Amino acid sequence: MSDASPLLPAEDARDGALVFVVSALCFLACLAVVAALAASRAAGGWSAELRNSATVIVRPGAEESADAAAARAAEALAAVRGVGEVDALDRGKAEALLEPWLGKNGLPDDLTIPRLVAVDLDPHHPATAAELDRALKAANVDATVDDHTLWLKDILRAGLMAQAAAIGVAALIAAAAGAVIVFATRAGLKAREELVGVLHLCGAEDRYIAALFQARFARLAASAGAIGAVSAALGMAIVRLIGGGDGVTPALPVAWSDLLPLVLCPLAAGLIAAVAARATALSLLRRMT
Amino acid sequence: MPEPALEVARPSVRFDDVSLAYGEGPPVLSDLSFELEPGSFHFLTGASGAGKTTLLKLIHMSLAPSAGAIQLFGRDTARLSREEIPPLRRRIGMVFHDRRLLDHLNAFENVALPLRLAGRKVASYRADVMELLGWVGLAEKVDAYPLALSGGEQQRLAIARAVVGQPELLIADEPTGDVDHEMAVRILRLFVELNRLGATVLIATHDRDLVARSGKPVFNLAGGALTRQAA
């Protein structure tokens, strides 16, 4: 003998299908969250690399060899405060950089190739492009400083877009999960109209009955959320183990810490379900006598 | 809990020119006016289809009248907000003709339902529920589910559920229809005991013997109109 039986029958044929659908949605939402984190990290890594370096294009004068001009530029740049290492690339390295576009045999010997000087900047107090430019002008070197600002903006924008897209997908999935719970609550109330009627006639308030549906669907969604999160975590763990720090692609590097936010999935799923079920149940109950 | 300071002198139930028709059909009840004084005991008789169940549903606020006004414990039911109805219903015990038991709850849980909905803890009512189940002859069926009980046992379970909260107003629709004579007498004694404790009782029945045995006043419904017969 007990008085602990739930007022809503414990098992329902629809529960299995609902758990499957919500689990699948949670799985996809978790993947989207991990993708957002990975995209953010990738963009951050690339922008840090670009922010801490600059490329100087040296145009040798008529009376000076390209190697000599590059060496002078390197010397001038190395003296600037906020500059770490400076590397004047020789013709071979410059040609290697152009090889993907022009091919191995694409460069005539008499073609003047601008020399490049790669500059590593102090990550804490990097020299600005203007400072580098001033130093080159002072050394009377004809050169252009590329501090990667243009690329940096593009990469940051691409990273932000990827992040926004992933967050948007996660939000859309959360909304879809909410809608599924709304339909399930409607179906549940319809299927248990008689039971709800008895509870009403015995003096139950709408909010008490709504709380029964709220608790039921919150529990169900939290379980489904746990299944989805664990599945996504397993999938991502496999990707991390196979692909290392780069995951499946350097564009989306997976870190173990990316899996941590997934522990919130059951809570989020439960919360969304609770709100959706309560609002739906209260709305429907108010139409019942 | 009741608020006796304001309501003690008011009738438990008051109908003023109440009529009810289902949809566009003819009126089932026409211009009914009557009062049930607090602590009174009445039977409601009438042929099948006379409107007894409809009248009880009006009292229980399961239906709203097409015309007229109904007061429960001094409150005009038409003016009640949705939130005010459940507390009022908890002051009423209702035995439904179709019992309306919950099949997934056992006998104990079905009887305890109104107490559970009122927020009471099981420890506070376990003994009362067990005693009541014994009174209606279901002491051995505490853990049984409604579908495993006979029609008569289900009816007794529904009666136990209606009276468990010691309601101020008990309304019962054919409460002895499916029980033997001995159990009918026993149930009547339960109602009389509840009435002795202050509850207003209205019982719709076809059981002429029960009515005659009780010696209580009778309302008779016929042709949509209500007539009162003395005890």
Do residues A226 and A261 both lie within one domain?
A: yes
Contacts of A203 in chain B (CB under 8 A): 86-87, 89-90, 114, 117-118
Q: Is residue B209 part of a domain?
A: yes
pLDDT for A239 equals 83
pLDDT band of residue B78 (cuts 50, 70, 90) is very high
As for how many domains chain B has, the answer is 1
Contacts of A216 in chain B (CB under 8 A): none
Do residues A176 and A240 both lie within one domain?
A: yes
Do residues A93 and A202 both lie within one domain?
A: no
Q: Is residue B13 part of a domain?
A: no
Do residues A127 and A81 both lie within one domain?
A: yes
Contact A287/B at CB under 8 A: no
- How far is it, in rounded angstroms, from Cα A16 to Cα A5? 21
Do residues A128 and A268 both lie within one domain?
A: no
Pairing of strands B13-21, B92-95: unpaired
Q: Do A202 and B161 touch (CB under 8 A)?
A: yes
Show which of A141, A176, A195 is a domain's final residue: A141
- Other C-beta atoms within 10 Å of A68: how many? 15
Do residues A43 and A66 both lie within one domain?
A: no
**Alpha helices of B60-141 — where are they, by DSSP H?**
85-89, 107-117, 122-135
Q: Is residue B23 part of a domain?
A: no
Q: Is residue A1 part of a domain?
A: no
- Tell me which residue in B86, B89, B116 faces A3 most closely, judged by beta carbons: B116
Q: Is the pLDDT of residue A187 over 90?
A: no
Q: Is residue B21 part of a domain?
A: no
Please tell me the pTM assigned to this model: 0.73
For the segment B49-53, the average pLDDT, to the nearest whole number, is 90
Task: Tell me which of B3 and B19 has the higher pLDDT.
Answer: B19
pLDDT for A247 equals 58
Task: Tell me which of A21 and A241 has the higher pLDDT.
Answer: A21
Residues B152/B180, Cβ–Cβ less than 8 Å:
yes
pLDDT band of residue A3 (cuts 50, 70, 90) is very low
Name the E strands within A37-150: 53-58, 83-88, 115-121, 143-146
Q: Is residue A8 part of a domain?
A: no
Tell me how far apart the 2 most distant CA atoms of chain B are, in Å: 50
Backbone angles phi, psi at B33, to 5 degrees: -135, 120
**Nearest 5 degrees, angle CA B88-CA B94-CA B97?**
145
Which CATH number fits the domain that encloses residue B194? Answer: 3.40.50.300
- How far is it, in rounded angstroms, from Cα A42 to Cα A51? 14
Q: Is residue B29 part of a domain?
A: no
**Selected residues 189-218 of chain B with any CB under 8 Å from a CB in chain A:** none
Among the listed ranges A2-16, A215-229, A253-267, B133-147, which one has the minimum average pLDDT value?
A: A2-16
As for how many domains chain A has, the answer is 2
Domain span at residue B95? 37-62+85-217
Task: Tell me which of B140 and B9 has the higher pLDDT.
Answer: B140
pLDDT band of residue B23 (cuts 50, 70, 90) is confident
Contact B167/A at CB under 8 A: no
pLDDT band of residue A12 (cuts 50, 70, 90) is low
Residues A202/B158, Cβ–Cβ less than 8 Å:
no
pLDDT band of residue B7 (cuts 50, 70, 90) is very low
**Selected residues 101-160 of chain B with any CB under 8 Å from a CB in chain A:** 101-102, 104-106, 108-109, 112-114, 116-118, 122, 126, 142-143
pLDDT for A271 equals 94
For the segment B87-113, the average pLDDT, to the nearest whole number, is 92
For the segment B83-97, the average pLDDT, to the nearest whole number, is 91
How high is the mean pLDDT of chain B? Answer: 89
Q: Is residue A35 part of a domain?
A: yes
pLDDT for A20 equals 92
Among the listed ranges A89-103, B67-81, B129-143, which one has the minimum average pLDDT value?
A: A89-103
Do residues A194 and A110 both lie within one domain?
A: no
**ipTM given for this complex:** 0.83
User: Per-residue pLDDT tens for A234-268?
Assistant: 998 888 888 766 656 666 677 888 889 999 999 99
Do residues A68 and A19 both lie within one domain?
A: no
Cα-based torsion angle of the residue sequence A188, A192, A198, A200 in order, rounded to the nearest 10 degrees: 30
For CA atoms A216, A222, A225, A227, the dihedral sign is negative
Domain span at residue A86? 60-141
Query: Nearest CA to A225 among A258, A261, A270, A163?
Result: A270
For the segment A5-26, the average pLDDT, to the nearest whole number, is 84
Task: Tell me which of A55 and A101 has the higher pLDDT.
Answer: A55
Q: Is residue B198 part of a domain?
A: yes
Q: Is residue B76 part of a domain?
A: no
Residues A34/A263, Cβ–Cβ less than 8 Å:
no
Q: Give the percent of chain B with pLDDT over 70.
A: 95
For the segment A268-278, the average pLDDT, to the nearest whole number, is 93
pLDDT for A254 equals 79
pLDDT for A274 equals 94
Show which of A107, A141, A175 is a domain's final residue: A141
Q: Is the pLDDT of residue B6 over 70?
A: no
Q: Is residue A88 part of a domain?
A: yes
Show which of A141, A172, A206 is a domain's final residue: A141
Q: Do A201 and B100 touch (CB under 8 A)?
A: yes
- How far is it, in rounded angstroms, from Cα A79 to Cα A76? 6
User: Per-residue pLDDT tens for B170-208?
Assistant: 999 988 877 788 888 888 888 898 899 889 999 999 888
Q: Give the percent of chain A with pLDDT over 90.
A: 28
- Copy the structure tokens of residue A78: 């190395």
- Tell me which residue in A4, A9, A202 faces B117 most closely, judged by beta carbons: A202
- Tell me which residue in B86, B96, B122 faces A3 most closely, judged by beta carbons: B122
Q: Is residue A146 part of a domain?
A: no
Do residues A214 and A279 both lie within one domain?
A: yes
Q: Is residue A239 part of a domain?
A: yes
pLDDT for A106 equals 62
For the segment A139-156, the average pLDDT, to the nearest whole number, is 82
- How far is it, in rounded angstroms, from Cα B101 to Cα A81? 86
pLDDT band of residue B2 (cuts 50, 70, 90) is low
- Copy the structure tokens of residue B43: 């039977």
Q: Is residue A55 part of a domain?
A: no
Q: Give the percent of chain B with pLDDT over 90.
A: 61
Among the listed ranges A108-122, A239-253, B172-186, B209-223, which one has the minimum average pLDDT value?
A: A239-253
Q: Is residue A85 part of a domain?
A: yes
User: Per-residue pLDDT tens for B103-147?
Assistant: 999 999 999 999 999 889 999 999 999 999 998 889 999 999 999
Distance from CA of B212 to the nearest CA of A (A): 31
Q: Is residue B173 part of a domain?
A: yes
- Copy the structure tokens of residue B92: 């009423």
